[in-house]
Amino acid sequence: MPSRFSGPLLGGPGESTRVSRLRLLPWLLWAVTVVVEFATGSDIRLSPVLAVVPPLVAIAHGWRTVVASGVLAWGTQLVFVWLDPTSSAVGSLTRFVAMTGITTAGAIASVARERGEERIRHMRSLAGGVQQAVLRPIPALIGGYRVAGFYQAAESDARVGGDFYEALETPFGLRVVLGDVSGKGLAAVDATVTLLGAFREAAYREENPEAIAHWMDLALSRRQEATGDRRFATALIVQAGPDGLLRLVNCGHVPPWYVDGDSAHELRLPSGVLLGLFDHFLTDPLPTVSRTLAPGSSLLLVTDGVTEARDDRREFFDLGGALGEQGLGRNPVAVKDAVLTGLGHHTGGRLCDDAAALVLARPDGGVQEVDAVRDVVRDVRDTLHEARCTGREI
């Protein structure tokens, strides 16, 4: 079954608005200059401002548009000189030469910008491929629970992040982990592989979820000793039984949220000790917290890329506000979409850190099954569409 981690990219209305303004600014400046020049005659001279148009165009347009704007500005300046008999020939020639040089520099800058953007897109594509190779697809229905989620890479960084997740159906129930390795790059990926390997092995062997955390810490500590890379990780480990009983072990991770049909609230958990630091700071046994997930309710796990996302005013994302809509709990896709949409609007589509979320929903039957069928159909449709676009086989 298709993964629930192929959600839409973040993108809020603020992002497209800013791009549109940047694209319109040079033409607006040209229009204002022309209107003022013709309206005031020789009283106000704004013709030198035309030299600013090509470099402004270079910010958001290709080099051909930059050259076209330079020709437009050069021609407009020529009209102004022709209409003004008092203009100096030397001054006019100087402005023409300066405008030609500025246009040339703007075109070169535009080419360099486009090449840099293409390089970043290529690196992001490679990073996404690496991430998909490390993180396995999670089915929409596993262990008696419906699952949905998303992984969104930071907008400003082409390096692979350290967010990781896994869900396994084991003899002890559904075992889930969501975590975040410190730092980015291939070293973070290597640490992620180490942690996921330990989790996948321990999840089938250990009866208690706190023992899984010790496996993961031991694996990361051995990697630290072997490589000299002292990075650590946060993780939230959840064991979900068929009766809705949850056992949670927190290793320095962001607390989860409980979402039901009427409200959403954060579950208070002991913060725990970061993975990779048990030998230094763990003095007491890891606490395991038990909770019950009622039918028609969901458990939302997120990384700090969600809770610490900021807007232009540097205000944090209000996750509780995004989950305020009534009746979200029974549908994990609705919970995921609410977080993803709210995050996109809050940040304007520009994340400073990778963000991931995982939703576990306990079915309540009836309309729940209709939702499940509809979501599976949508997943299959999206997979077929992606296959047609990329030419890959299913």
| pLDDT attached to residue 366 | 47
Identity (one letter) of the amino acid at 104?
Answer: T
| Tokens 């949220």, residue located | 257
| Residue pointed to by tokens 């959403």 | 264
In the β-sheet with 264-266, what is the strand arrangement from edge to edge?
141-142, 145-152, 355-361, 298-302, 257-259, 264-266
Give the tokens for residue 320. Answer: 């509780």
Dihedral (C-alpha) 208, 212, 213, 218: value to the nearest 10 degrees?
Answer: 130
In angstroms, the CA 100 to CA 190 distance is: 51
What is the percentage of the chain residues whose pLDDT exceeds 70? 81
Q: Measure CA of the first residue to CA of the last residue in the chain; give whole Å.
A: 11
Mean pLDDT of 18-35: 82
**Rounded to an integer, what distance in angstroms lies between the CA atom of residue 272 and that of residue 235?**
10
Is the pLDDT confidence value at 232 over 90?
yes
pLDDT of residue 365: 66
| pLDDT-based confidence at residue 14 (cuts at 50, 70, 90) | very low
Which of residues 249 and 382 earns the better pLDDT score? 249
Strand partners, 147: 360
Model pLDDT, residue 333: 92
3-state SS, one letter per residue, for the chain: CCCCCCCCCCCCHHHHHHHHHHHHHHHHHHHHHHHHHHHHCCCCCCHHHHHHHHHHHHHHCCHHHHHHHHHHHHHHHHHHHHHCCCCCHHHHHHHHHHHHHHHHHHHHHHHHHHHHHHHHHHHHHHHHHHHHHHCCCCCCEECCEEEEEEEECCCCCCCCCCEEEEEEEECCEEEEEEEEECCCCHHHHHHHHHHHHHHHHHHHHCCCHHHHHHHHHHHHHHHHHHHCCCCCEEEEEEEECCCCEEEEEEEECCCCEEECCCCEEECCCCCCCCECCHHHHCCCCCCCEEEECCCCCEEEEECHHHHCCECCCCCECCHHHHCCCCCCCCCHHHHHHHHHHHHHHHHCCCCCCCEEEEEEECCCCCHHHHHHHHHHHHHHHHHHHHHHHHCCCC
Domain 139-363, CATH number (from 1.20.1070.10, 3.60.40.10, 1.10.1040.10, 3.40.50.450): 3.60.40.10
Average pLDDT over residues 260-267: 88
Distance CA 204, CA 202 (A): 5
What gap in Å lies between CA 285 and CA 27, rounded to an integer? Answer: 66
pTM: 0.70
Distance CA 140, CA 16 (A): 32
Mean pLDDT for 160-180 is 93
* Sign of the four-CA dihedral 65, 109, 352, 347: negative
pLDDT in tens, 265-283: 999 999 999 999 999 998 8
Summarize pLDDT for 42-52 with one digit per residue, the tens.
666 677 788 88
Contact 254, 302 (CB under 8 A): yes
Looking at residue 383, its pLDDT comes to: 56
The boundaries of every CATH 3.60.40.10 domain in the chain are 139-363
